[in-house]
């Protein structure tokens, strides 16, 4: 039976997950989820304190494919996911940023690079410790229009915001999946990411710090 992984989305730039170009992808951050999630599993991101969205769903994606970083980089199907730092907000937050050159990881100029565009080794180490990109062609993305989930429904599942992620069977989480399916159309971006206007900023896992674009 498929599993459902739920976690608190601390930052929502449209980078992780990236809901653009007709597919929702999780290519960076959350290496523990990317390591274990399989095709058919659901990933659900809930709002938390920083985004002032506790109890609200930011996104839900059913994994339809899992590919390596090199496959993600080299397949033309995902070319629009590559970042373009002088482009639109959607292209600035592109998450197709890793591939190997002579066995070494190469990081494109992106949200996970240093402010000057050079590779950030701390993010490289964290992101690539799981060589897997989760791809969904069946997803719900709400962003700043995050949908409030009835407390009774979350209580029924047994979900509470916490560090890391929570794992449920699909049977356990079916009330939430059904709630979304019955009230919303899939593959629709209902709202911009919470932090979309700060898309040019940079993030480093070393100190969990966001550096604004200047």
Whether residue 213 contacts residue 201, with contact meaning beta carbons closer than 8 Å, is answered with yes
The CATH-assigned architecture of domain 3-68+131-208 is Roll (3.10)
Residue 9 binned pLDDT confidence (cut-offs 50, 70, 90)? very high
Percent of the chain whose pLDDT exceeds 90: 96
Q: In 3D, which of 56, 61, 58, 57 has the Cα closest to residue 22?
A: 61
Could you tell me the pLDDT band of residue 150, with boundaries at 50, 70 and 90? very high
Q: What pLDDT, on the 0 to 100 scale, is given for residue 1?
A: 85
* Residue 77, pLDDT score: 97
Confidence of residue 70 (pLDDT cuts 50, 70, 90): very high
Taking residue 136's Cβ as centre, other Cβ atoms within 10 Å add up to 25
Q: Is 154 helix (H, G, I), strand (E, B) or coil?
A: helix
Pairing between β-strand 202-204 and β-strand 188-189 as defined by DSSP bridges? unpaired
Closest CA to 190 of 59, 94, 64: 59
Sign, CA dihedral 150-144-25-122, equals: negative
pLDDT at 63: 98
Across the range 19-40, mean pLDDT stands at 98
What's the mean pLDDT in 56-76?
A: 98
Contact 97, 108 (CB under 8 A): yes
Query: In this predicted model, what pLDDT tens digit does every residue of 103-129 receive, in sequence order?
Result: 999 999 999 999 999 999 999 999 999
The predicted model scores a pTM of: 0.96
Burial of 62 (0-12, 13-18, 19+ CB in 10 A): buried
Residue 84 has pLDDT above 90, yes or no: yes
Task: Read off the tokens for 62.
Answer: 């059913």
């Amino acid at each position: 039976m498929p599993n459902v992984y739920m976690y608190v989305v601390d930052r929502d730039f449209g980078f992780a997950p990236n809901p653009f170009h007709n597919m929702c992808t999780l290519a960076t951050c959350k290496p523990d989820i990317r390591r274990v999630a399989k095709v058919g599993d659901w990933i659900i991101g809930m709002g938390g304190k920083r985004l002032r969205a506790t109890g609200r769903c930011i996104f839900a994606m059913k994994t339809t494919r899992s590919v390596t970083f090199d496959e993600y980089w080299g397949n033309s199907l995902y070319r629009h996911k590559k970042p373009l730092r002088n482009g639109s907000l959607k292209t600035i937050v592109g998450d197709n940023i890793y591939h190997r050159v002579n066995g070494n990881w190469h990081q494109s100029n992106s949200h996970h690079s240093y402010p000057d565009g050079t590779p950030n080794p701390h993010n490289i180490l964290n992101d690539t410790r799981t060589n897997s990109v989760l791809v969904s062609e069946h997803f719900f993305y709400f962003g700043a229009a995050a949908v409030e989930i009835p407390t009774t429904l979350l209580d029924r599942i047994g979900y509470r915001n916490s560090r890391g992620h929570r794992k449920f069977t699909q049977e356990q989480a079916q009330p939430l999946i059904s709630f979304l399916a019955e009230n919303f159309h899939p593959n629709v971006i209902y709202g911009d990411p919470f932090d979309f206007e700060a898309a040019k900023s940079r993030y480093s896992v070393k100190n969990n710090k966001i550096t604004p674009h200047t």
